[in-house]
Amino acid sequence: MNRGTFDILRCPYCGWRLDLVTSSYHQTNGDDVHHGILGCQCCVFPVVDGIPVMHLQPAAVAAREWIEKGQPDRARRAMFGLEDEGEARQFETLEDSDAATYRSFVEALGEHLEGGYFLYRFADPTYIVGHAVVRAVAGTVLGSGGRALDICGGSGHLTRALMDLSSPPPVLADLYFAKIWLARRFTAPGCEAVCCDGNSPMPFARGAFRFAMCSDAFMYIWTKRQFVLDMLRVIDDSRIGTDDTRAGAALISHTHNQCTWSPSHGQPLTPDGYRQLFETLEPRLFGETGLFADVVRGGPLDLARRDDERTLEADPSLTMIASRHPGVFVRHPLEPPPARARGEFRINPLYVEAAPGASEGGEDEHVRFRLRFPSDDYEQEYGACRQYLPEDVAITRRALRAVAEGRVPDELADLARRRVIVDLPRRYY
Ligand SMILES: [Zn+2]
Protein backbone atom coordinates (compact mmCIF):
# COMPACT_ATOMS: atom_id res chain seq x y z
CA MET A 1 0.00 0.00 0.00
CA ASN A 2 1.07 3.53 -0.68
CA ARG A 3 1.58 5.75 2.37
CA GLY A 4 -0.71 8.29 0.68
CA THR A 5 -3.57 5.87 1.43
CA PHE A 6 -3.20 6.75 5.14
CA ASP A 7 -4.91 10.05 4.25
CA ILE A 8 -8.17 8.25 3.42
CA LEU A 9 -7.95 5.13 5.63
CA ARG A 10 -9.81 5.18 8.98
CA CYS A 11 -10.43 2.58 11.65
CA PRO A 12 -13.91 1.06 10.99
CA TYR A 13 -14.57 1.01 14.77
CA CYS A 14 -13.10 4.17 16.34
CA GLY A 15 -12.82 6.23 13.15
CA TRP A 16 -9.25 7.26 13.96
CA ARG A 17 -6.48 7.72 11.40
CA LEU A 18 -4.17 4.73 10.92
CA ASP A 19 -0.40 4.90 11.02
CA LEU A 20 2.42 2.42 10.65
CA VAL A 21 3.60 1.18 14.06
CA THR A 22 7.32 1.61 13.46
CA SER A 23 8.26 -0.20 16.68
CA SER A 24 6.70 -3.41 15.25
CA TYR A 25 8.06 -5.54 12.42
CA HIS A 26 7.62 -3.87 9.02
CA GLN A 27 8.91 -3.98 5.45
CA THR A 28 8.72 -0.81 3.40
CA ASN A 29 10.15 0.36 0.11
CA GLY A 30 10.06 4.12 -0.30
CA ASP A 31 6.39 5.10 0.00
CA ASP A 32 5.18 1.49 -0.22
CA VAL A 33 4.33 -0.46 2.92
CA HIS A 34 4.70 -4.13 2.11
CA HIS A 35 4.18 -5.71 5.52
CA GLY A 36 3.57 -4.10 8.89
CA ILE A 37 1.17 -3.20 11.65
CA LEU A 38 -1.22 -0.25 11.58
CA GLY A 39 -2.50 1.31 14.79
CA CYS A 40 -5.44 3.59 15.69
CA GLN A 41 -6.87 4.42 19.14
CA CYS A 42 -8.61 1.07 19.63
CA CYS A 43 -6.94 -1.67 17.55
CA VAL A 44 -4.01 -2.87 15.53
CA PHE A 45 -4.39 -4.21 11.98
CA PRO A 46 -1.87 -6.03 9.77
CA VAL A 47 -0.65 -5.03 6.32
CA VAL A 48 0.01 -8.25 4.37
CA ASP A 49 1.55 -8.14 0.89
CA GLY A 50 0.71 -4.45 0.64
CA ILE A 51 -2.95 -4.96 1.61
CA PRO A 52 -4.24 -3.47 4.88
CA VAL A 53 -6.58 -5.95 6.59
CA MET A 54 -9.18 -3.77 8.32
CA HIS A 55 -11.29 -6.33 10.15
CA LEU A 56 -10.92 -8.63 13.16
CA GLN A 57 -12.00 -12.02 11.83
CA PRO A 58 -9.88 -14.97 13.05
CA ALA A 59 -7.67 -15.07 9.92
CA ALA A 60 -6.89 -11.37 10.32
CA VAL A 61 -5.97 -11.81 13.99
CA ALA A 62 -3.71 -14.77 13.12
CA ALA A 63 -2.10 -12.79 10.28
CA ARG A 64 -1.44 -9.86 12.61
CA GLU A 65 0.28 -12.17 15.10
CA TRP A 66 2.50 -13.62 12.33
CA ILE A 67 3.47 -10.14 11.13
CA GLU A 68 4.34 -9.14 14.71
CA LYS A 69 6.61 -12.21 14.83
CA GLY A 70 8.29 -11.10 11.60
CA GLN A 71 6.88 -13.99 9.52
CA PRO A 72 4.95 -12.40 6.62
CA ASP A 73 4.83 -15.70 4.65
CA ARG A 74 2.83 -17.24 7.50
CA ALA A 75 0.58 -14.19 7.63
CA ARG A 76 -0.16 -14.58 3.92
CA ARG A 77 -0.98 -18.27 4.40
CA ALA A 78 -3.41 -17.30 7.16
CA MET A 79 -5.16 -14.75 4.93
CA PHE A 80 -5.40 -17.21 2.04
CA GLY A 81 -6.65 -19.96 4.36
CA LEU A 82 -3.79 -22.24 3.25
CA GLU A 83 -3.60 -24.57 6.23
CA ASP A 84 -2.26 -27.65 4.46
CA GLU A 85 1.54 -27.52 4.14
CA GLY A 86 1.54 -29.15 0.68
CA GLU A 87 -1.05 -26.72 -0.69
CA ALA A 88 0.79 -23.78 0.81
CA ARG A 89 4.08 -24.84 -0.83
CA GLN A 90 2.33 -25.38 -4.16
CA PHE A 91 0.90 -21.88 -3.93
CA GLU A 92 4.25 -20.35 -3.04
CA THR A 93 5.92 -22.08 -6.01
CA LEU A 94 3.25 -20.60 -8.24
CA GLU A 95 3.83 -17.19 -6.71
CA ASP A 96 7.51 -17.25 -7.68
CA SER A 97 6.72 -18.21 -11.26
CA ASP A 98 6.45 -15.51 -13.93
CA ALA A 99 4.40 -17.89 -16.07
CA ALA A 100 1.63 -18.31 -13.47
CA THR A 101 -1.78 -17.11 -14.64
CA TYR A 102 -4.89 -15.85 -12.92
CA ARG A 103 -6.45 -19.19 -13.76
CA SER A 104 -3.64 -21.20 -12.20
CA PHE A 105 -3.99 -19.27 -8.93
CA VAL A 106 -7.77 -19.65 -8.90
CA GLU A 107 -7.33 -23.40 -9.40
CA ALA A 108 -4.71 -23.61 -6.65
CA LEU A 109 -6.97 -21.69 -4.25
CA GLY A 110 -10.11 -23.61 -5.16
CA GLU A 111 -12.50 -22.91 -8.02
CA HIS A 112 -15.20 -21.74 -5.60
CA LEU A 113 -13.19 -18.52 -5.34
CA GLU A 114 -14.70 -17.22 -8.54
CA GLY A 115 -17.73 -19.43 -8.83
CA GLY A 116 -16.01 -21.25 -11.71
CA TYR A 117 -17.17 -18.70 -14.28
CA PHE A 118 -14.35 -16.16 -14.02
CA LEU A 119 -13.12 -17.15 -17.50
CA TYR A 120 -16.28 -15.77 -19.04
CA ARG A 121 -16.71 -12.81 -16.71
CA PHE A 122 -15.60 -10.06 -19.11
CA ALA A 123 -18.34 -10.87 -21.60
CA ASP A 124 -21.28 -11.99 -19.46
CA PRO A 125 -24.55 -9.99 -19.53
CA THR A 126 -24.22 -8.79 -15.92
CA TYR A 127 -20.73 -7.53 -16.57
CA ILE A 128 -21.46 -5.72 -19.81
CA VAL A 129 -24.30 -3.75 -18.21
CA GLY A 130 -22.20 -2.98 -15.11
CA HIS A 131 -19.29 -1.94 -17.29
CA ALA A 132 -21.39 0.42 -19.42
CA VAL A 133 -22.98 2.04 -16.36
CA VAL A 134 -19.63 2.42 -14.58
CA ARG A 135 -17.98 3.99 -17.62
CA ALA A 136 -20.90 6.40 -18.03
CA VAL A 137 -21.33 7.45 -14.39
CA ALA A 138 -17.72 7.33 -13.20
CA GLY A 139 -16.61 8.90 -16.49
CA THR A 140 -18.97 11.82 -15.80
CA VAL A 141 -18.25 12.55 -12.14
CA LEU A 142 -14.51 11.84 -12.31
CA GLY A 143 -14.07 14.04 -15.38
CA SER A 144 -12.74 16.86 -13.23
CA GLY A 145 -10.62 14.57 -11.04
CA GLY A 146 -11.28 12.49 -7.96
CA ARG A 147 -10.91 8.98 -6.72
CA ALA A 148 -13.08 5.88 -7.15
CA LEU A 149 -13.98 3.16 -4.66
CA ASP A 150 -15.14 -0.31 -5.75
CA ILE A 151 -16.54 -1.89 -2.60
CA CYS A 152 -17.20 -5.65 -2.51
CA GLY A 153 -15.36 -5.53 -5.83
CA GLY A 154 -14.07 -9.13 -5.61
CA SER A 155 -11.21 -9.77 -8.02
CA GLY A 156 -11.44 -6.29 -9.50
CA HIS A 157 -13.09 -7.06 -12.84
CA LEU A 158 -14.94 -3.72 -12.76
CA THR A 159 -12.14 -1.95 -10.86
CA ARG A 160 -10.21 -2.44 -14.09
CA ALA A 161 -12.77 -0.19 -15.81
CA LEU A 162 -11.90 2.59 -13.33
CA MET A 163 -8.12 2.55 -13.80
CA ASP A 164 -7.99 5.34 -16.39
CA LEU A 165 -10.77 7.40 -14.76
CA SER A 166 -9.68 7.59 -11.11
CA SER A 167 -6.87 9.78 -9.89
CA PRO A 168 -5.25 8.73 -7.58
CA PRO A 169 -5.79 5.06 -8.58
CA PRO A 170 -9.06 3.42 -7.50
CA VAL A 171 -9.43 1.57 -4.22
CA LEU A 172 -10.74 -1.98 -4.38
CA ALA A 173 -12.28 -3.23 -1.12
CA ASP A 174 -13.44 -6.75 -0.38
CA LEU A 175 -13.60 -9.21 2.50
CA TYR A 176 -11.84 -11.95 0.48
CA PHE A 177 -8.13 -11.32 0.67
CA ALA A 178 -7.31 -13.81 -2.10
CA LYS A 179 -9.57 -11.97 -4.54
CA ILE A 180 -8.10 -8.51 -4.01
CA TRP A 181 -4.60 -10.00 -4.02
CA LEU A 182 -5.35 -11.49 -7.47
CA ALA A 183 -6.75 -8.16 -8.62
CA ARG A 184 -3.51 -6.38 -7.73
CA ARG A 185 -1.47 -8.99 -9.57
CA PHE A 186 -3.63 -9.55 -12.66
CA THR A 187 -6.99 -7.88 -13.09
CA ALA A 188 -6.41 -4.29 -11.98
CA PRO A 189 -2.66 -3.83 -11.38
CA GLY A 190 -1.96 -0.46 -9.82
CA CYS A 191 -5.18 -0.26 -7.80
CA GLU A 192 -4.99 0.08 -4.02
CA ALA A 193 -6.61 -2.85 -2.22
CA VAL A 194 -8.18 -2.85 1.24
CA CYS A 195 -9.49 -5.99 2.93
CA CYS A 196 -12.61 -5.09 4.92
CA ASP A 197 -16.03 -6.39 5.89
CA GLY A 198 -19.03 -4.98 4.01
CA ASN A 199 -21.15 -5.57 7.11
CA SER A 200 -18.99 -3.18 9.18
CA PRO A 201 -18.54 0.58 8.77
CA MET A 202 -16.32 1.36 5.78
CA PRO A 203 -12.71 2.06 6.79
CA PHE A 204 -12.50 5.35 4.89
CA ALA A 205 -12.63 9.06 5.67
CA ARG A 206 -15.65 11.22 4.86
CA GLY A 207 -15.41 12.61 1.34
CA ALA A 208 -12.36 10.46 0.43
CA PHE A 209 -13.92 9.54 -2.94
CA ARG A 210 -15.96 11.13 -5.70
CA PHE A 211 -17.36 7.84 -6.96
CA ALA A 212 -18.31 4.76 -4.94
CA MET A 213 -19.78 1.60 -6.39
CA CYS A 214 -20.90 -1.88 -5.43
CA SER A 215 -21.76 -4.33 -8.18
CA ASP A 216 -23.35 -7.79 -7.98
CA ALA A 217 -22.92 -7.97 -4.20
CA PHE A 218 -25.34 -5.69 -2.38
CA MET A 219 -28.02 -8.39 -1.93
CA TYR A 220 -25.51 -10.34 0.18
CA ILE A 221 -24.92 -7.43 2.58
CA TRP A 222 -27.00 -7.78 5.74
CA THR A 223 -26.40 -4.26 7.11
CA LYS A 224 -27.78 -2.55 4.00
CA ARG A 225 -28.82 0.67 5.70
CA GLN A 226 -25.42 1.23 7.24
CA PHE A 227 -23.74 0.32 3.96
CA VAL A 228 -25.66 2.87 1.88
CA LEU A 229 -25.30 5.70 4.38
CA ASP A 230 -21.60 4.92 4.55
CA MET A 231 -21.34 4.98 0.76
CA LEU A 232 -22.86 8.46 0.81
CA ARG A 233 -20.49 9.47 3.63
CA VAL A 234 -17.35 8.46 1.70
CA ILE A 235 -18.48 10.48 -1.36
CA ASP A 236 -19.71 13.40 0.77
CA ASP A 237 -19.32 16.51 -1.35
CA SER A 238 -20.66 19.17 1.01
CA ARG A 239 -17.33 21.00 0.77
CA ILE A 240 -17.95 21.92 -2.86
CA GLY A 241 -20.93 24.13 -1.99
CA THR A 242 -23.44 24.59 -4.81
CA ASP A 243 -21.22 23.60 -7.75
CA ASP A 244 -23.04 20.40 -8.74
CA THR A 245 -20.65 19.77 -11.63
CA ARG A 246 -18.16 18.69 -8.96
CA ALA A 247 -20.64 16.40 -7.18
CA GLY A 248 -19.92 12.69 -6.77
CA ALA A 249 -22.02 9.60 -7.38
CA ALA A 250 -22.90 6.36 -5.61
CA LEU A 251 -23.76 3.39 -7.80
CA ILE A 252 -25.20 0.03 -6.77
CA SER A 253 -25.53 -2.18 -9.81
CA HIS A 254 -26.95 -5.65 -10.23
CA THR A 255 -28.72 -6.08 -6.93
CA HIS A 256 -31.53 -8.62 -6.88
CA ASN A 257 -35.19 -7.80 -6.40
CA GLN A 258 -37.38 -9.22 -3.65
CA CYS A 259 -40.37 -9.05 -6.02
CA THR A 260 -38.89 -11.66 -8.37
CA TRP A 261 -36.80 -14.80 -8.10
CA SER A 262 -33.25 -15.06 -9.46
CA PRO A 263 -30.41 -17.57 -9.14
CA SER A 264 -28.05 -16.84 -6.19
CA HIS A 265 -30.79 -14.70 -4.71
CA GLY A 266 -29.24 -13.35 -1.45
CA GLN A 267 -31.46 -11.19 0.81
CA PRO A 268 -32.82 -8.60 -1.62
CA LEU A 269 -35.25 -5.76 -0.86
CA THR A 270 -38.13 -4.38 -2.94
CA PRO A 271 -37.43 -1.36 -5.17
CA ASP A 272 -39.08 0.88 -2.58
CA GLY A 273 -37.11 -0.79 0.20
CA TYR A 274 -33.89 0.00 -1.62
CA ARG A 275 -34.96 3.59 -2.29
CA GLN A 276 -35.58 4.23 1.38
CA LEU A 277 -32.03 3.27 2.31
CA PHE A 278 -30.78 6.52 0.79
CA GLU A 279 -31.88 9.03 3.41
CA THR A 280 -30.03 12.12 2.26
CA LEU A 281 -29.73 11.78 -1.51
CA GLU A 282 -32.62 10.29 -3.45
CA PRO A 283 -31.46 7.62 -5.90
CA ARG A 284 -32.87 6.73 -9.29
CA LEU A 285 -33.63 3.07 -9.86
CA PHE A 286 -33.37 1.29 -13.18
CA GLY A 287 -34.47 -2.17 -14.23
CA GLU A 288 -31.43 -3.84 -15.77
CA THR A 289 -33.44 -5.36 -18.61
CA GLY A 290 -33.79 -1.88 -20.14
CA LEU A 291 -30.13 -1.03 -19.62
CA PHE A 292 -29.12 -4.37 -21.12
CA ALA A 293 -31.25 -3.68 -24.21
CA ASP A 294 -29.52 -0.28 -24.56
CA VAL A 295 -26.10 -1.95 -24.50
CA VAL A 296 -27.05 -4.74 -26.92
CA ARG A 297 -28.48 -2.14 -29.30
CA GLY A 298 -25.10 -0.38 -29.29
CA GLY A 299 -26.25 2.56 -27.18
CA PRO A 300 -26.98 5.13 -26.07
CA LEU A 301 -27.23 4.06 -22.44
CA ASP A 302 -30.33 5.95 -21.41
CA LEU A 303 -29.95 7.11 -17.80
CA ALA A 304 -32.51 9.87 -18.47
CA ARG A 305 -35.26 7.21 -18.47
CA ARG A 306 -37.61 6.89 -15.53
CA ASP A 307 -38.69 3.29 -15.07
CA ASP A 308 -42.14 3.08 -13.46
CA GLU A 309 -42.82 0.96 -10.37
CA ARG A 310 -44.29 -1.87 -12.43
CA THR A 311 -41.18 -2.11 -14.59
CA LEU A 312 -38.96 -2.07 -11.51
CA GLU A 313 -40.99 -4.67 -9.64
CA ALA A 314 -40.87 -7.06 -12.62
CA ASP A 315 -37.11 -6.88 -13.16
CA PRO A 316 -34.95 -9.52 -11.45
CA SER A 317 -32.06 -7.08 -11.04
CA LEU A 318 -31.81 -3.39 -10.40
CA THR A 319 -29.30 -0.56 -10.69
CA MET A 320 -29.41 2.42 -8.32
CA ILE A 321 -27.60 5.69 -8.85
CA ALA A 322 -27.52 8.61 -6.42
CA SER A 323 -25.94 11.84 -7.61
CA ARG A 324 -26.54 15.59 -7.83
CA HIS A 325 -24.24 15.86 -10.87
CA PRO A 326 -26.21 17.27 -13.84
CA GLY A 327 -24.33 15.06 -16.31
CA VAL A 328 -25.35 11.71 -14.83
CA PHE A 329 -29.04 11.26 -15.69
CA VAL A 330 -28.73 11.77 -19.43
CA ARG A 331 -28.28 9.56 -22.51
CA HIS A 332 -24.67 8.35 -22.65
CA PRO A 333 -23.18 7.15 -25.94
CA LEU A 334 -21.40 3.82 -25.52
CA GLU A 335 -17.65 3.88 -25.89
CA PRO A 336 -16.34 1.96 -28.90
CA PRO A 337 -14.22 -1.09 -28.02
CA PRO A 338 -10.56 -0.13 -27.65
CA ALA A 339 -8.50 -0.29 -30.85
CA ARG A 340 -5.47 -1.39 -28.84
CA ALA A 341 -5.59 -3.98 -26.07
CA ARG A 342 -5.16 -2.78 -22.49
CA GLY A 343 -4.29 -6.38 -21.66
CA GLU A 344 -4.47 -8.82 -24.55
CA PHE A 345 -7.18 -9.45 -27.14
CA ARG A 346 -8.52 -12.99 -27.15
CA ILE A 347 -11.36 -14.84 -28.79
CA ASN A 348 -14.11 -15.04 -26.14
CA PRO A 349 -13.48 -18.37 -24.33
CA LEU A 350 -17.16 -19.30 -24.86
CA TYR A 351 -16.13 -20.06 -28.47
CA VAL A 352 -14.47 -23.28 -29.57
CA GLU A 353 -12.90 -23.89 -32.94
CA ALA A 354 -15.44 -25.80 -35.05
CA ALA A 355 -12.85 -27.93 -36.87
CA PRO A 356 -9.65 -27.78 -34.84
CA GLY A 357 -6.51 -28.94 -36.57
CA ALA A 358 -7.96 -28.34 -40.07
CA SER A 359 -5.19 -28.06 -42.62
CA GLU A 360 -3.32 -24.77 -42.56
CA GLY A 361 -4.69 -22.65 -45.39
CA GLY A 362 -3.73 -19.24 -46.66
CA GLU A 363 -4.14 -15.94 -44.87
CA ASP A 364 -7.61 -15.48 -46.36
CA GLU A 365 -8.92 -18.81 -45.16
CA HIS A 366 -11.61 -18.61 -42.50
CA VAL A 367 -11.38 -20.34 -39.15
CA ARG A 368 -14.81 -21.21 -37.79
CA PHE A 369 -15.82 -20.89 -34.15
CA ARG A 370 -18.97 -22.07 -32.40
CA LEU A 371 -20.57 -20.76 -29.20
CA ARG A 372 -20.45 -23.42 -26.48
CA PHE A 373 -21.60 -22.95 -22.88
CA PRO A 374 -19.51 -24.53 -20.11
CA SER A 375 -22.62 -25.94 -18.38
CA ASP A 376 -26.42 -25.93 -18.38
CA ASP A 377 -26.31 -23.80 -15.23
CA TYR A 378 -24.24 -21.19 -17.02
CA GLU A 379 -26.60 -21.14 -19.94
CA GLN A 380 -29.57 -20.74 -17.62
CA GLU A 381 -28.03 -17.83 -15.74
CA TYR A 382 -26.20 -16.03 -18.56
CA GLY A 383 -27.99 -17.27 -21.70
CA ALA A 384 -29.03 -13.67 -22.48
CA CYS A 385 -25.55 -13.35 -23.98
CA ARG A 386 -27.03 -15.00 -27.09
CA GLN A 387 -28.48 -11.57 -27.84
CA TYR A 388 -25.01 -10.29 -28.72
CA LEU A 389 -22.91 -13.43 -29.20
CA PRO A 390 -23.60 -15.09 -32.58
CA GLU A 391 -23.88 -18.88 -32.72
CA ASP A 392 -21.13 -19.24 -35.35
CA VAL A 393 -18.37 -16.91 -36.44
CA ALA A 394 -15.75 -17.18 -39.15
CA ILE A 395 -12.52 -15.17 -38.91
CA THR A 396 -9.67 -15.10 -41.41
CA ARG A 397 -6.23 -16.25 -40.32
CA ARG A 398 -4.92 -12.79 -41.14
CA ALA A 399 -7.41 -11.18 -38.75
CA LEU A 400 -6.66 -13.75 -36.05
CA ARG A 401 -2.98 -12.90 -36.32
CA ALA A 402 -3.75 -9.18 -35.92
CA VAL A 403 -5.77 -9.97 -32.79
CA ALA A 404 -2.87 -11.98 -31.39
CA GLU A 405 -0.65 -8.95 -32.00
CA GLY A 406 -2.99 -6.75 -29.96
CA ARG A 407 -4.94 -5.04 -32.78
CA VAL A 408 -8.56 -5.28 -33.89
CA PRO A 409 -8.61 -4.99 -37.70
CA ASP A 410 -11.58 -3.13 -39.25
CA GLU A 411 -13.21 -6.36 -40.43
CA LEU A 412 -13.54 -7.47 -36.79
CA ALA A 413 -14.80 -4.18 -35.31
CA ASP A 414 -18.35 -5.50 -35.05
CA LEU A 415 -17.22 -8.76 -33.41
CA ALA A 416 -15.25 -6.72 -30.86
CA ARG A 417 -18.35 -4.66 -30.13
CA ARG A 418 -20.31 -7.90 -29.67
CA ARG A 419 -17.70 -9.31 -27.27
CA VAL A 420 -16.65 -12.16 -29.53
CA ILE A 421 -13.23 -10.57 -29.14
CA VAL A 422 -12.47 -9.52 -25.58
CA ASP A 423 -9.70 -7.46 -24.01
CA LEU A 424 -8.52 -9.64 -21.11
CA PRO A 425 -5.89 -8.90 -18.48
CA ARG A 426 -2.45 -10.26 -19.36
CA ARG A 427 -1.86 -13.85 -18.23
CA TYR A 428 -5.53 -14.31 -17.40
CA TYR A 429 -5.75 -17.93 -18.56
ZN1 LIG B 1 -9.79 2.00 16.08
> How far apart are the CA of 247 and the centre of ligand 1, in A?
29
- Percent of the chain with pLDDT strictly greater than 70: 97
> How far apart are the CA of 349 and the centre of ligand 1, in A?
45
Contact 425, 106 (CB under 8 A): no
> How far apart are the CA of 58 and the centre of ligand 1, in A?
17
Global pTM reads 0.95
Name the β-bridge partners of 296. none
> What integer is the mean pLDDT of 399-413?
91
Q: How far is the C-alpha of 107 from the C-alpha of 114, rounded, in Å?
A: 10
Q: What is the DSSP letter of 343?
A: S
Dihedral pair phi/psi, residue 139, rounded to 5°? -60, -35
Please report which helix (H) or strand (E) contains residue 214, including its range. Answer: strand 211-215
Say if residue 118's pLDDT is above 90. Answer: no
> How far apart are the CA of 19 and the centre of ligand 1, in A?
11
Buried b vs exposed e over 237-275: b needs ≥16 C-beta within 10 Å? Answer: beeeeeeeebbbbbbbbbbbbbbeeeeeeeebbebeebb
Give the pLDDT score at 393. Answer: 95
How confident is residue 359, by pLDDT bands cut at 50, 70 and 90?
Answer: low
Q: Pick the residue with more confidence: 262 or 300?
A: 300
> How far apart are the CA of 240 and the centre of ligand 1, in A?
29
Q: Which tens digit of pLDDT belongs to each residue from 301-325?
A: 999 999 999 999 999 999 999 999 9
> How far apart are the CA of 130 and the centre of ligand 1, in A?
34
Q: Which tens digit of pLDDT belongs to each residue from 231-259?
A: 999 999 887 777 888 899 999 999 999 99
Residues within 5 A (CB) of ion ligand 1: 11, 13-14, 40, 42-43
> How far apart are the CA of 188 and the centre of ligand 1, in A?
29
Say if residue 360's pLDDT is above 70. Answer: no
> How far apart are the CA of 364 and the centre of ligand 1, in A?
65
For residue 150, which of 217, 245, 238 has the smallest C-alpha distance? 217
> How far apart are the CA of 35 and the centre of ligand 1, in A?
19
Give the pLDDT score at 228. Answer: 98
Instruction: Please report, in angstroms and rounded to a whole number, the separation of the first and last CA atoms in the chain.
Output: 26
Bond from prior residue into 300 cis (ω within 30 degrees of 0)? yes
> How far apart are the CA of 55 and the centre of ligand 1, in A?
10
> How far apart are the CA of 53 and the centre of ligand 1, in A?
13
> What integer is the mean pLDDT of 329-354?
92
Q: How wide is the angle at C-alpha 205 spanned by C-alphas 199 and 207, nearest 5°?
A: 110
> How far apart are the CA of 405 and the centre of ligand 1, in A?
50
Give the pLDDT score at 23. Answer: 96
> How far apart are the CA of 68 and the centre of ligand 1, in A?
18
Contact 383, 311 (CB under 8 A): no
**Range of 41-45, 113-117, 236-240, 358-362 with top mean pLDDT:** 41-45
Q: What is the mean pLDDT of the chain?
A: 93
Give the pLDDT score at 327. Answer: 97
Q: Which tens digit of pLDDT belongs to each residue from 37-54?
A: 999 999 999 999 999 999
How confident is residue 357, by pLDDT bands cut at 50, 70 and 90?
Answer: low
